[in-house]
Structure 1
């Protein structure tokens, strides 16, 4: 079994707790479904948000899921680069898996599909 990284991102239209929480749950639901993950497969998750998002922690939306309160979660601010995707939530999941890297589905939703078209294998 190896530790592999799964990438994902989404965007929101407004800087509100409900928008950030909804988008984070949608992204996590899609990643879990597309990669057939169980909470016990997840070693940790790092979330970043662009500096224009300040209303909520995306980790809070994940911790509310049964069993996920034990997964180490961390939030950070994304680099503020001119011309970058605004109102964006990104994540990096570290998972324990027997799957090959090519079998993983990196998920980009909403306006974030433009971030890494080379990694997009599925979008919801």
Structure 2
């Protein structure tokens, strides 16, 4: 069956290496915590707040061995007043036998405040 795994992370500044490192860390943790391999991933959608534009975060996935065929797309989040800044959000769609309540969603750094109810 198909399930979605959510995740988010913040970065300290709008710099290429920091964005790529944070994105790579997030997607690796999402896959690892849910025991998902690249062959199980249907697609990955990545959004960023408007203050992140130094690079495409999707480029981080190309740095991960065996992830070269995973379809990835980037987009910008809508601007909402007082929203969390410098945030990268990920929705990873995967093939899995897990039930929805068994999915482990990953929120790192300041992004933990987005969904404290999902922290395990």
User: Normalising by the residue count of structure 2, what TM-score does the alignment of the two structures yield?
Assistant: 0.96
Partner of 1:5: 4
Deviation string 1:34-84 (CA, Å, 9 cap, x unpaired) is 111111110000000000001111110012212211111000001110010
Which piece of structure 1 moves more, 78-87 or 112-121? 112-121
Alignment root-mean-square deviation, CA: 0.8
Partner of 2:78: 79
Partner of 2:115: 116
Unaligned runs of 5+ in 2: none
Partner of 2:37: 38
Aligned residue for 1:92, secondary structure, equals strand
Report how many residues are paired.
Answer: 120
How far apart, in 1, do the equivalents of 2:2 and 2:118 lie? 18
How far apart, in 2, do the equivalents of 1:116 and 1:20 lie? 21
Aligned residue for 2:14, secondary structure, equals coil
Q: Does 1:50 align with 2:49?
A: yes
Deviation string 1:70-117 (CA, Å, 9 cap, x unpaired) is 111000001110010000000000000111111110000000000011
Matches within 5 A, 1:62-77: 62-77=61-76
Q: Residues 41 and 93 of structure 2 are in contact (CA less than 8 Å); yes or no, is this contact kept in structure 1?
A: yes
How far apart, in 2, do the equivalents of 1:4 and 1:22 lie? 25
Q: Residues 24 and 64 of structure 2 are in contact (CA less than 8 Å); yes or no, is this contact kept in structure 1?
A: no
Unaligned runs of 5+ in 1: none
